[in-house]
Amino acid sequence: MTVSITPGEGPGQPEPSPELDALYRGFEQELLIPLWTEIGDLMPPEPRPAAVPHAWRWKSLLPLAERAGELVPVGRGGERRAIALANPGLGGRPFATPTLWAAIQYLGPRENAPEHRHTQHAFRFVVEGEGVWTVVNGDPVAMRRGDFLLTPGWQFHGHHNVSDEPMAWLDGLDIPFSHYVGSTFFEFGPDEVSDTSSPDRSRSERLWAHPGLRPVSSTEPLPSSPIAAYRWEHTDAALADQLALEDEGHPGVLEPGHAAVRFTNPSTGGDVMPTIRAEFHRLRAGTTTATRREVGSSVWQVFQGTGTVRVGDHEWRAEQGDLIVVPSWAPLTLTANETELDLFRFGDAPIFERLHADRVHVEGRHQ
């Protein structure tokens, strides 16, 4: 390993001299870098993330995933037919942001993905299709359109497709964060999923997914939500009720025409997993949100409808399945065009809140 020091310029910097050059060469030999030459990059006046805003089109991703389904097996070694979004600002790494992984995973008819576990926290979100069950610690969980499904860290999991049709979905994990902090563990499980049944409801839902109720047999706070699946019918109803309350003149929406819900851990009331926050947003046709900046990054996926997504100087017309990355502190504005717009969002806010490094700015509001 080598380091290279570029002398700084401007106020507060030492005058160039042969003696200063010799000092810097001495620093380089000992792998030392002085703060005064780096402070502008290390301590900027506001976040300057390496990740950049970018959009991936579902209509482009899905054919590539289908082709991978024809050419790439699912089994030990590759483990998953998952194709990661690589942010253009992150040097070719398979990371959507410095903390978040997002990928399209594809499972063919009657295929099984073997069980394994890892310390990274994971979820699935289904934009379209059904017929796959993910098995989490031996509990088969149906995956259907609009469902948000959890695989918290260090839980064995595999997938099996019981149908004659392929299925693709969004995977989200905190792989980059775990990678950078050096906390990753991985372990193989059985080559076949441990339960190939296909129940309508998982055991975790039967125990935990009753509104406002928790089993008295489990009163301790859990690090991740024990609910394996948050079903679309409940999410849809919650968003519809918020907009109906707005029509009736009652509070509930995040802002005019903008309903939003956050998926929560019923044992704590907090986020579903320690490093990942997940939400669902619905905008009435013609609604434009206030411009918002947040410390921490996020990935948005259009579930249904069409809209305009503006992130900094970038603007896209987005439709079903499209994925858009919002880097830390990038200004975000959403507009629903001719139709109602539904979007799924996941981000890394819990990390920054636990570090007391979170900050939010909404344009036009006193902070």
Give the model confidence (pLDDT) of 56-100 as tens digits: 999 999 999 999 999 999 988 788 999 999 999 999 999 999 999
- Strands (E) located in 8-111: 54-56, 82-84, 101-107
> Per DSSP, what are the bridge partners of residue 84?
103
**156 is written with which tokens?**
């064995």
Q: What is the pLDDT of residue 130?
A: 96
Q: What is the pLDDT of residue 192?
A: 87
Residues of the chain with pLDDT below 50 are none
* Long-range CB contact pairs, 30-36, < 8 A, 24+: 31/1, 31/3, 32/3, 33/3, 33/5, 34/5, 36/8, 36/12
* Residue 114, SS3 per DSSP: strand
Residues 342 and 305 sit within 8 Å (Cβ to Cβ): yes
> Per DSSP, what are the bridge partners of residue 324?
55, 300
Q: What is the pLDDT of residue 259?
A: 98
Residues 175 and 101 sit within 8 Å (Cβ to Cβ): yes
Name the nearest CA neighbour of 311 among 295, 337, 296, 291. Answer: 291
Q: What is the pLDDT of residue 367?
A: 55
What's the CA gap between 11 and 29, in Å, rounded? 27
Q: What is the pLDDT of residue 8?
A: 78
What's the CA gap between 250 and 253, in Å, rounded? 9
7, 20, 22, 24 from 16: Cα distances, Å: 8, 6, 11, 11
Residues 121 and 100 sit within 8 Å (Cβ to Cβ): no
Q: How far is CA 54 from the centre of its chain?
A: 14
Q: What is the pLDDT of residue 275?
A: 98
What's the CA gap between 112 and 3, in Å, rounded? 47
What's the CA gap between 335 and 31, in Å, rounded? 49
The b/e string for 261-277 (b: 16+ C-beta within 10 A; e otherwise) is bebbbbbeebbbbbbbb
